[in-house]
A = this chain, B = another copy of it.
Amino acid sequence: MTQFPVPDVDDLPEDLRERIEAETERAGFTPNVFSAFGYKPSHFRAFFAYHDALVEDAALSREEIEMLVVAVSGVNHCYYCNVAHGALVRIYAKDPLLADQLVANYRTADVSERHRAMLDVAVKLTERPQAFEPADLDRLREVGFDEEEIWDIGSVTAFYNLSNRMASFADMRPNEEFHTMARTPRGED
């Protein structure tokens, strides 16, 4: 993050420190978004609590959530989220190509008709929220998403419209590790 100071982890409140240590252990490095939000602890707590609610109390699979994140971040041209969540797409979808497709143009992604409808809705809500209408949800109902899944599609899309803007605003930069993570073709690791 080039636009705001990144505090030393040791200077952060204990709950932040614990979260950062857990994330660092899981990933093998500290994802920069955690260091960046350390700038303002009350916002750190709110941002990650929302994130956790989206992925932990989710009607969607984690693979679906990460596909949404990268399609949204692709049209918002967010470098941090393209790369960091691109790695998560590769991991959760077990597909080394899907993230590059979603970053470039979600219309080229090799996905099911059901997931294509999900991405179309997310991108419309991202690009032209003013044109979004109740009828747009019918497309999701038609391909079989249930009510809570539909709520979650909207919620994940909305949250990453927040997240992309924070990353662009503060100029957050993804860790180098994310660029190469999980790029090995299936089963060849």
**CA of A164 to CA of B154, assembled, Å:** 11
Q: Digit string of A81-118 for contact with B (CB within 8 Å is 1, else 0)?
A: 01100000000000011001101110110000000000
Q: Digit string of A135-175 for contact with B (CB within 8 Å is 1, else 0)?
A: 00100000000011001001101110111111011110100
Where chain A touches its partner, the secondary structure class is helix
Given known contacts A83-B100, A97-B179, A168-B130, is B40 in contact with A57 (CB within 8 Å)? yes
Please tell me if A133 contacts chain B, counting CB pairs below 8 Å.
yes
**CA of A107 to CA of B134, assembled, Å:** 10
Given known contacts A46-B53, A53-B46, A169-B158, is B101 in contact with A134 (CB within 8 Å)? no
**CA of A134 to CA of B79, assembled, Å:** 14
How many copies of the polypeptide does the oligomer hold?
A: 6
From A97, which residue of chain B is reached at the shortest CB distance? B179
Q: Which of A34-79 contact B (CB under 8 A)?
A: 39-40, 42-43, 45-47, 49-50, 52-54, 56-57, 74, 76-79
Please tell me if A4 contacts chain B, counting CB pairs below 8 Å.
yes
Pick the contact of A134: B96, B159, B171 (CB < 8 A). B171
Given known contacts A134-B3, A180-B96, is B129 in contact with A78 (CB within 8 Å)? yes
Please tell me if A10 contacts chain B, counting CB pairs below 8 Å.
no
Say whether A130 contacts B148, CB under 8 Å.
no
Contacts beyond the supplied A47-B50, A125-B169: 13 A-B pairs with Cβ under 8 Å: A42-B56, A45-B53, A46-B54, A49-B50, A77-B105, A78-B105, A96-B179, A129-B164, A132-B168, A158-B166, A159-B162, A161-B162, A176-B185
Closest 9 CB pairs between A and B? A77-B130, A154-B169, A46-B50, A158-B165, A77-B105, A162-B162, A79-B104, A42-B57, A79-B108
